[in-house]
Amino acid sequence: MGELRTVVITGAARGLGFASAVRLYREGWRVVAAMRTPDRGIPLLREATGAGEDDDRLIGVQLDLMDVDSVAYAAKSIEERVGAPYALVHNAGISSAGMAEETDADLWQRMFATHVIGPVALTNALLPSMRAAGEGRIVLVCSSAGVRGQPATAPYSASKGAMERWGESLASEIAPFGLGVTVLITGTYDTEIITDAGTTDDRDFGGPYARLHQTMNTRGRFAMKMARSPERFADGLVKALADRSPFRRRAVGPDALMLLVSNRFLPSSGMHHMSRIVLGIPRQGSMRNGAYPLTVTQKAMVFAVKVIPQPVMQRIVAAAAKRSAAKQPPQQQTD
């Protein structure tokens, strides 16, 4: 890279934003790391990059996307410190777990404030200088869950989908000024957002959707084991920042790529059924009148009981009980 280019990354304190900030700094970019808590995040970024306190290639800016004043103030400080940034990466995000019926209005508002309203406001505030510069890129960190609405995360899916639609509109509007938009359809990466602790969890395991939560929870945990390192995500971002076309939609990660390909070739009804089967969701109508369809494991157990002779079955059950007892931690002495 010849001239010094500036990239603003939101949510740079941890996860994908942190890994991306480190990578782009190492690639020679001037990185404006926007975050809720720069006092905590910037020293960590300095440590990871080796940047000194007076290094003007690593700049911290305070930004809370849910606070309109904070967004306006962040845009002002970015322009004061670096002028028009070349790139703006909307990475900050939050996740949720729970059926739409289980979620409240506050969660929907937080999702749309973080993924749509805040990013739109920050972009609008920076666009006059970016348009004047006549070149630049806006990158939206979207998600597989936003390509199609996924069950048990409707506020996240809806807001990430809205983010994509905004990006498409924006690309047509700003392309004549020399700017472009890249949407990153992000697969599964090993950060806090995919853990219970990093998610607003409204799932009711005793409520009407318990049967759906049961299989989705097990299969979701299995999928988490496939999560790739945040550093791999940065590879995709580096490519996005090199994009020059007015609009580009890229998959980051093999799972995201597979989803985009299936979504392109399968009809919507096919995608619905594929997602239903992958997540272990019972068929339409199968839970009417309080019915509770068996899970695949339960069905396999029923089948096994029918075909395996009783003495063999008893031995299997005894062995399983022994193995599970061996896994239990020793009981604490209470007296």
Ligand X SMILES: NC(=O)c1ccc[n+]([C@@H]2O[C@H](COP(=O)([O-])OP(=O)(O)OC[C@H]3O[C@@H](n4cnc5c(N)ncnc54)[C@H](OP(=O)(O)O)[C@@H]3O)[C@@H](O)[C@H]2O)c1
Q: Is 14 in the site for ligand X (CB under 6 A)?
A: yes
Contacts of residue 198, defined as CB under 8 A and 6 or more positions apart, other chains included, come to 95, 191, 192
202 touches 98 (CB < 8 A): yes
| Residue 223 CB, nearest approach to ligand X (Å) | 10
Nearer to ligand X, 17 or 136 (CB): 17
d(CA 114, CA 157): 13
138 touches 170 (CB < 8 A): yes
Q: Is 236 in the site for ligand X (CB under 6 A)?
A: no
d(CA 247, CA 64): 27
Q: Which of 74, 271, 86 is nearest to 179 (CA)?
A: 86
Q: Which stretch binds ligand X (CB under 6 A): 35-43, 98-106, 165-173, 267-275?
A: 35-43
Residue 138: φ, ψ to 5°: -110, 125
Q: Which of 231, 333, 234, 212 is nearest to 278 (CA)?
A: 212
CA distances from 15 to 12, 19, 33, 38, 183 (A): 8, 6, 13, 15, 18
Identify the bridge partners of residue 140 per DSSP, sorted by sequence position: 90, 183
Q: Is 193 in the site for ligand X (CB under 6 A)?
A: yes
Q: Which stretch binds ligand X (CB under 6 A): 50-58, 129-137, 165-173, 187-195?
A: 187-195
Q: Is 89 in the site for ligand X (CB under 6 A)?
A: no
| Residue 36 CB, nearest approach to ligand X (Å) | 4
Q: Site residues for ligand X, window 129-158 (CB under 6 A)?
A: 141, 143
| Residue 53 CB, nearest approach to ligand X (Å) | 21
Q: Is 107 in the site for ligand X (CB under 6 A)?
A: no
Nearer to ligand X, 149 or 282 (CB): 149
| Residue 147 CB, nearest approach to ligand X (Å) | 11
Q: Is 159 in the site for ligand X (CB under 6 A)?
A: no
Q: Is 66 in the site for ligand X (CB under 6 A)?
A: yes
| Residue 54 CB, nearest approach to ligand X (Å) | 25
Q: Which stretch binds ligand X (CB under 6 A): 59-67, 210-218, 288-296, 308-316?
A: 59-67
Contacts of residue 89, defined as CB under 8 A and 6 or more positions apart, other chains included, come to 7, 8, 9, 10, 17, 20, 139, 141, 237, 241
Q: Is 172 in the site for ligand X (CB under 6 A)?
A: no
Q: Which of 28, 27, 4, 18 is nearest to 48 (CA)?
A: 18
Name the DSSP class of 30.
E
| DSSP reduced 3-state for 32 | strand
- Residue from 5, 8, 15, 170 that binds ligand X (CB under 6 A)? 15
Nearer to ligand X, 6 or 144 (CB): 144
| Residue 129 CB, nearest approach to ligand X (Å) | 21
d(CA 301, CA 323): 18
| Residue 240 CB, nearest approach to ligand X (Å) | 13
CA distances from 81 to 8, 31, 60, 122, 277 (A): 12, 12, 10, 16, 51
Nearer to ligand X, 54 or 69 (CB): 69
- Residue from 7, 8, 17, 237 that binds ligand X (CB under 6 A)? 17
| Residue 125 CB, nearest approach to ligand X (Å) | 15
205 touches 176 (CB < 8 A): no
Task: List residues near ligand X by CB under 6 A.
Answer: 10-11, 13-17, 35-37, 63-66, 91-94, 114, 141, 143, 186, 188-189, 191-194, 198
